[in-house]
């Protein structure tokens, strides 16, 4: 998991005891250092935010061709 922390204001959220227990277990399984890190990474994964765009077009050459005229 990513160890980058951003300086920002904090908010409090309320979850049931069952949800808290499940999040605690997931935090341990994934090696997250905080609930903030766990929830941020889950949200980024769910909405498709990439940590980096480097390599985002990996493999594009397999089905990609360009006409010589397009390069001019």
Condensed to tens digits (0 to 9), the pLDDT of residues 7-65 reads 678 889 999 999 999 999 999 999 999 999 999 899 888 888 665 655 555 555 555 56
CA distance readout (Å), 2 to 31, 37, 40, 72: 10, 8, 10, 42
Can you read off the two tokens belonging to residue 39? Answer: 């929830």
Say if 60 falls within a structural domain. no
Q: How far apart are CA 17 and CA 21, in angstroms?
A: 6
Classify residue 70: in a domain, yes or no. no
Predicted confidence at residue 62, as pLDDT, reads 56
Q: Count of domains in the chain?
A: 1
Task: Tell me whether residue 35 is in a domain.
Answer: yes
Query: What number of other Cβ atoms are within 10 A of residue 64's Cβ?
Result: 8
Q: How far apart are CA 49 and CA 53, in angstroms?
A: 9
Say if 21 falls within a structural domain: yes
What global pTM score does this model have?
0.55
pLDDT grade, residue 1 (50/70/90)? very low
Distance of CA 52 to the CA centre of its chain: 10
Structural domain including 40 reads 13-49
Give a yes or no: residue 27 inside a domain: yes
């Amino acid at each position: 998991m990513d160890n980058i922390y951003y300086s920002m204001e904090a908010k409090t959220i309320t979850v049931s005891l069952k949800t808290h227990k499940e999040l605690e277990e997931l935090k341990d399984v994934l090696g997250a250092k905080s609930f903030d890190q766990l929830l941020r990474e889950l949200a980024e994964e769910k909405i498709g935010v990439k940590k980096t765009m480097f390599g985002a077009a990996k493999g594009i050459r397999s089905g990609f061709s360009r006409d010589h005229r397009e390069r001019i």
